[in-house]
Amino acid sequence: MSGPVSETPVGEYLRALASTAAVPGGGSAAALAGAMGCALVSMVAKLSAKRAADAAAAQTLERLVPEADRLMERLLQLSQEDVDAYREVVATRRQRPGDREALARVSRAAAEVPLQAARAAARAAELQRQLKPLAWSMTASDAEAAGLLLDTGLRAALANVAINLPELEGEARLRIEADYETLRKAVGGAAPLV
């Protein structure tokens, strides 16, 4: 990948993801799936507001758009932050293999970034649930796709949190693990800690 995720053409990103390079990986892809889900929530809300049955429904739909757009941008940013965080993990493992403190520090970032992505995807999933009963019938499949992408992004982000937890210690581990468990229970069935 020659530049930031936000400026990388989709085909180039996918080829980088399919390569044997360490990044981008699952955490970046999880955040990007969530960002796509948010984009669909925004699109469906905009189109549905124009065809809403009444003013109250139109207002509800219009209120979803700014937050969906903000979450989309945040998840896109987190997709890049995951690339950056995991690069640091790889570099630390190569350059300082016995330095547990340094590894814990970079692993904390590698766990916190997907945790933030999971939170953002979970919030966007709440928006999608509000949107779904008000969606224009011609956008029903788009609303459903949004939900599926958000669920995938959330669950995949949680998997990336879990894989980094064993490297953490102390307060950081307790805090991240507690947040992980809360989100995992909320989605009902995300993989338990590895």
Which pLDDT tens digit goes with each residue over 34-59? 999 999 999 999 999 999 989 999 99
pLDDT number for residue 189 = 61
pLDDT number for residue 1 = 79
Q: Is a pLDDT exceeding 90 seen at residue 101?
A: no
What percentage of the chain carries pLDDT values higher than 70?
Answer: 97
- Which residues have C-beta within 8 Å of that of residue 143, sequence separation ≥ 6? 40, 41, 44, 128, 131, 132, 135
**pLDDT tens figures, 127-173:** 999 999 999 999 999 999 999 999 999 999 999 999 988 888 899 99
Q: Is a pLDDT exceeding 70 seen at residue 193?
A: no
Where in the chain are the domains? Answer: 23-186
**pLDDT-based confidence at residue 194 (cuts at 50, 70, 90):** very low
Stretch 87-97: mean pLDDT, rounded?
A: 94
Write the single-letter amino acid at 145: A
Q: Indicate the CATH number of 23-186 among 3.40.50.2300, 1.10.940.10, 3.90.1150.10, 1.20.120.680.
A: 1.20.120.680
Q: Is a pLDDT exceeding 60 seen at residue 19?
A: yes
CA triplet 1, 161, 172: central angle to 5 degrees? 120
Residues in the chain: 194
Rg of the chain over all Cα atoms, to the nearest angstrom: 18
pLDDT number for residue 126 = 96
Query: According to DSSP H, which parts of 51-99 are helical?
Result: 55-95
Q: What global pTM score does this model have?
A: 0.93
Distances (CA, A) of 20 to 24, 70, 81, 117: 10, 32, 19, 24
pLDDT number for residue 31 = 98
pLDDT number for residue 58 = 96
